[in-house]
Amino acid sequence: MMLDGLYQEIILDHYKNPHGRGLRDPFDGEAHHVNPTCGDEITVRVTSDLSEISYDGLGCSISQASASVLHELLQGKDTATASEIHQAFVDLMQSRGQAEPDEEVLGDGIAFAGVAKFPARVKCALLPWMAFKDAAVRAGVDVGMSPEVKA
């Protein structure tokens, strides 16, 4: 079934057993994003040194698993590395399924390569990453340019 590309085991694992879920104090920046077409919501908090990234949200398996992967990949990284990973994930999601993801950079994030083939779901995967970026800005951390969400 073509769904296998979308619902990879890694994604379902992160959905059922999310890493780092729950909002924690203290934090330096917080952002709340919603997907107005489906009502998915996420709140992300970060400290200015990215040593703590916490989140909570309501949404589909893709958006919630994506938040879990984000936490795993970005927490504790320096700004330059976080920016690089952030950009790599956004590029992957906007590749329409054409990009070959680098596991060295994206870790479990490579499981989202299949999501990029489902334009309606790209926004779900990017929701936590956009919220993270805004929260980081509010914490005084710039993780790079703002991508265009084309889905």
Q: What does the binding site for other proteins look like in residue numbers (CB under 8 A)?
A: 1-3, 6-7, 12, 37-41, 58-62, 64, 118, 121, 124
Contacts (Cβ under 8 Å, ≥6 apart) of 49: none
Q: Which helix (H) or strand (E) holds 57?
A: strand 53-58
Q: Is the dihedral of CA 117, 120, 123, 124 positive or negative?
A: negative
Our CB check for other proteins shows the closer of 40 and 52 to be: 40
Q: Which helix (H) or strand (E) holds 113?
A: none
Smallest gap from Cβ 42 to other proteins, in A, equals: 11
Cβ atoms of residues 44 and 53 within 8 Å: yes
Our CB check for other proteins shows the closer of 16 and 78 to be: 16
Smallest gap from Cβ 60 to other proteins, in A, equals: 3
Smallest gap from Cβ 131 to other proteins, in A, equals: 16
Smallest gap from Cβ 28 to other proteins, in A, equals: 28
Our CB check for other proteins shows the closer of 65 and 90 to be: 65
Tokens of 32: 């709340």
Q: Which helix (H) or strand (E) holds 85?
A: helix 79-93
Our CB check for other proteins shows the closer of 62 and 139 to be: 62
